[in-house]
Every structure is written in C-alpha cells, then in structure tokens.
Amino acid sequence: MPEILIIEDDTAFCQMLCKFLTKHGYSVSSSYSLKEAEEKLNASTFDVILSDVRLPQGNGLTLLSNIKKASPKTQVILMTGYAEVKTAVNAMKQGAFDFISKPFTPDEICSVINKALQVKAPKVPSNPRKDNSDKKDGITQTLVGSSESSQKLWQYVKLVAPTNMSVLLFGESGTGKEVTARSIHDASDRSGQNFVAVDCGAIPKEIATSEFFGHVKGSFTGAIEDKMGHFEAANGGTLFLDEIGNLSYEHQVQLLRAIQERKIKRVGSTKEIPLDLRIVAATNENLIEAIEEGRFREDLYHRLNEFSIVIPPLRDRVDDIMRFVDHFLEKANEELGKNVSGFSKEAKEVIQRYSWPGNLREMKNVIKRAVLFTEGDLVMYDAFPDQVITGTAEEGGHKFSKSEYEKERILNALKQTNFNKSKAAKLLQMTRKTLYNKINLYQMEV
C-alpha cells in the first residue's frame, strides 16, 4: 500500500484530504508544521509527499532538497492557493515531481499521485566510483565541457569556490548561470548547507522586503503567520540572486545594508538576525550601463562584484555541443521513461549547425521534445521544431541570430495576443517594462 505524507497547516483541509485518500487505498499520515513533518520523515520513508508551499516557520520548498537527498525515490507534490508560474518552476528545479493549485478536484489530485507513483526509482550504480567519475572537487562537471571557453569557466569556478568572496555571474539567458552558482556552492566549505535560489525579476515589488527578510505575524495585512525570508533560509549556505538588475532602487538599498551589516530584521520585528552566508548574483544585462543610467547602485555593484565570471553562450562552445546534447538526451530518457540511444546523421547535422540562441535552456527543451516524438532508437531530424531545422540555413552569409530569434518570438507573442502588450509579456515570461525595452531596442513598429 503506497505511503503518503500530507504536510498542511489548514487542519480541516488536511483531515478532509486524509479521509479521501484513505478511501482510495492509500496509507496516509499528516503533519501540520515543518517541525512535525521532519520528525515523521526521520522515522519513516514515504512514497509521495503532498506539501503546502506556505507553512508556519517556513515553506514546502525548504524541505525539498533534504527529502530528495535522504530518499531520492520519494516524489514531492507541492500544493498552493497562491498559484504562480515562477514558484512552480523553482519547485521543479529543486526536485518537485509536480505542482498543483488549490482548489483542486479529487480526480486531479488522484491523477497526480498515480503519475508520481509510476515514476521509477533512480538506479543505484553498481560501481560507486563510476557515479562520481564526472565530479571534481565536489563540482558536477557534466555541463562544463572541454572547449577553451568552457575550461576557462571551470578554472574560475575552482579558483573562487573555496573563498567567501561574493561572485557576480554575467551571461545571456539560458547559459546556465544557476548551474554555475550551484557548482560554486558545491565546491565550497558551505556545500553541506542550504543553496537558496531567488529570481529577483519574479518578486512583486510590494512583497520583496518580506520575501528577502521575512516577517512576523500581524506586521501587515495578510501576515497571518511568521515567515522566514530568503536570507534567513540561506544562512550558513549560499544565496543565489538571479536577475539582480531587476531589483527596484529601494530594495537595492535594503540588500546593500544587509550585505554590509551582515544582519537583518524580519518585517515588524526588532530582533536582529546575524548572517553568515555567501552571495552569488547573476544578470544578463550590462550593469555598468544601468549604473550610468541611474537604475543600479554603484556601491551595491562593487559589493556583489568581488569576483566576476562570464558564462559563455553556446555559440562560443561549439566543441561542447554534442557533449551537452548527450547529457540532455540521457536526462530526457530518464524523465520520459524512454531508451533513445542517439541521433541520426541528419539530426546531428541540424544540432551542430543551429546557433542555439536560447543556449542550454533551449537545448534542453528541444532535446526533450525530440525524444518524446521519437519512436525508434535514434532521434531523426524531423523530430526537431521548425525553427531549429530552418535556423541551420545560412542566408546571405549570416547565421540565424539571437536578435532575430528574439524578435520573432516577440512578434509571434504579440500576434497571439492581438497586440496586447501586457498579455504578450506574460506569454513571454518577462515584465511589461522589459518587453517595451526590447520593442524599442529592435525598433519594432507595433
């Protein structure tokens, strides 16, 4: 009988869910707080964990990494009444099986649980040494590569990782800035502590202070319980601040003060919380220009930029293309339960000629889609999306460029939304301001 643990602070909802799942043949336990959940996790192993995102003294994301380390076969499904795409993406990155928004129907929750139970447990390698063969100094080297630019990146990571220096990562979208940040963390003395990733561009301005520093119950309307912020959650470990250039000027000031003083206060509290953490920040924009335009504080820039690393785009790592593709093929096989062994000659030609303007993120999605459409042992070239196939052609001596790719995406999104810029921005997963800036940058008449 499948063992399920429900972590939910809404007592009535939790009890109702327990009764429903018990009637459907599951063995169900429940916890109303993170502390209670941790006690049950230490005592037992569960097949599936259903956890609310927002819980007293923390959130469901806090447990994810610990659960996946202690019991890789346990599948975690997060529940929330605050449905946000970015939260879902962050949860999936940290190892969640799926994400379901309240209110949900009985059929929906049963369907998600059944899918989770069908996932095969990860294989344990017969030779433990082989499992670590791709690691050096605690860093997974799978996505490092052997090209000159990749090896330079690797050397910088090894150089700065053992220090406590703040690191600023520069790179285009999709180049693997979070992977690099995690590699720095894994090779540091803080590797046994939390690595907390925050997308600064996804945090609404109105709640940013609470998200970063936490709050106490009753400190503002809607603060129905104490909440731990990202800084406190990362204490002792590493805090990764992605898209740091998207922070408002006001929150840049707060961030600077926290880094300088190495202490914070939760919103509504007078108690100071000492900090011992490392900051790794990342951006895909030119912060020097942002400083000159008055959009980014120069003193914060220098605080974050004790050491900088530029993540090279895929077009500068041509020699590594097939290595990365093989890695994503292996991952896609695991996730989709397939056994595709490789690529046809024509498919390899498509892969090697395409410029990959969306970098590693685009490559991962393209390979997973191709594996899904593949019935035989080899991925054929027609399993790739049209833009990948047509993007291999050179017209007038120029390859399919990132700007052309981005302009086409923006135009398609605008057409799909009848040129409603707010809806188009949501479709493109960018802010309205960023969309307007890109429209102006590309001089698009819309």
Q: Looking at domain 137-310, which of 3.40.640.10, 3.30.70.20, 3.10.180.10, 3.40.50.300 is its CATH number?
A: 3.40.50.300
Query: Class of the 402-441 domain?
Result: mainly alpha
* pLDDT tier, 404 (very low <50, low <70, confident <90, very high otherwise): low
Chain-centre distance for alpha carbon 267: 26
* Closest by Cα among 75, 76, 77 to 120: 75
Residue 163: the pLDDT is 92
Mean pLDDT on 38-62: 78
* pLDDT tier, 244 (very low <50, low <70, confident <90, very high otherwise): very high
Residue located via tokens 């819980």 = 55
Mean pLDDT of all residues belonging to the chain: 82
pTM for the structure as a whole:
0.58
Mean pLDDT on 45-73: 76
CATH superfamily name and code, 3-118? Response regulator (3.40.50.2300)
CA distances from 76 to 30, 83, 186, 363 (A): 14, 17, 23, 26
Alpha carbon distance 32, 293 (integer Å): 49
Fold matches, 3-118 and 137-310: yes
Which range has highest mean pLDDT (159-168, 216-225, 391-400, 426-435)? 159-168
Structural tokens at position 165: 């220096």
Burial category of 155 from C-beta neighbours within 10 Å (exposed 0-12, middle 13-18, buried 19 and up): exposed
Query: Class of the 317-390 domain?
Result: mainly alpha
**Domain ranges in the chain?**
3-118, 137-310, 317-390, 402-441
Contact 93, 242 (CB under 8 A): no
Mean pLDDT on 368-375: 93
